[in-house]
Amino acid sequence: MAKLNRVLETALYVTDLDRAAAFYSDVLRLPCIHEDHRMRAYDVGGNGVLLLFPQGGSLQPIETPGGSIPPHDGHGPMHVAFSIPADELEEWQQHLISKGIALEGRTQWPRGGVSIYFRDPDGHLLEIATPGLWKGY
């Protein structure tokens, strides 16, 4: 049977698209690969795309030359985890602190990975994790 390969896109819904875009570009250093009035798209290490949409801004179908995109939306604090090499954890912690980002938690996982947790301007819980969190990662 055919299988899925990976998560290609993850979407977060934000109250202020420009504020969120600045956070993901400046603080998380993600390169923006698409921007328009209704969304921003960020490359995440060549392994996936993070999409930012204004809350309530995608409640109608979007017609494109190639077809229709059904409506979608979300609210409340979501969670996204980003992977990094283990030897970059300290650098990321210091970078976040230097940007005034409060670290809310740190977890040492049984397989050896470490996760740190913090929030974006919309209250979404973000995680940076080193290998050893999940089987296969």
**Average of pLDDT values for 109-127?**
97
Assess whether pLDDT exceeds 90 at residue 44: yes
Residue 4: per-residue pLDDT: 87
Assess whether pLDDT exceeds 90 at residue 137: no
Q: What is the pLDDT of residues 56-74, one digit of tens each?
A: 999 999 999 999 999 999 9
Q: Percent of the chain having pLDDT more than 90?
A: 94
Grade residue 12 by pLDDT with cuts at 50, 70 and 90: very high
Assess whether pLDDT exceeds 90 at residue 136: no
pTM across the whole model: 0.94
Question: Which alpha helices (H) appear in 32-104, and where do they start and end?
Answer: 89-98
In our burial notation (b when 16+ CB lie closer than 10 A, e otherwise), range 73-103 reads eeeeebeeebbbeeeebeebbeebeeeebee
Spatial neighbors of 8 by CB under 8 A, at least 6 apart, are: 48, 49
- Sign of the dihedral defined by the CA atoms of residues 26, 29, 35, 39, in that order: negative
Return the minimum-mean-pLDDT range out of 1-5, 30-34, 99-103, 112-116.
1-5
- Kindly list the structural domains of the chain, giving each domain's residue range(s) and its CATH number in brackets, ordered by start: 9-56+74-129 (3.10.180.10)
The Cα 126–Cα 114 span in angstroms is 14
Residue 98: per-residue pLDDT: 97
3-state secondary structure of 117: strand
**Tokens 């979300």 — which residue?**
74
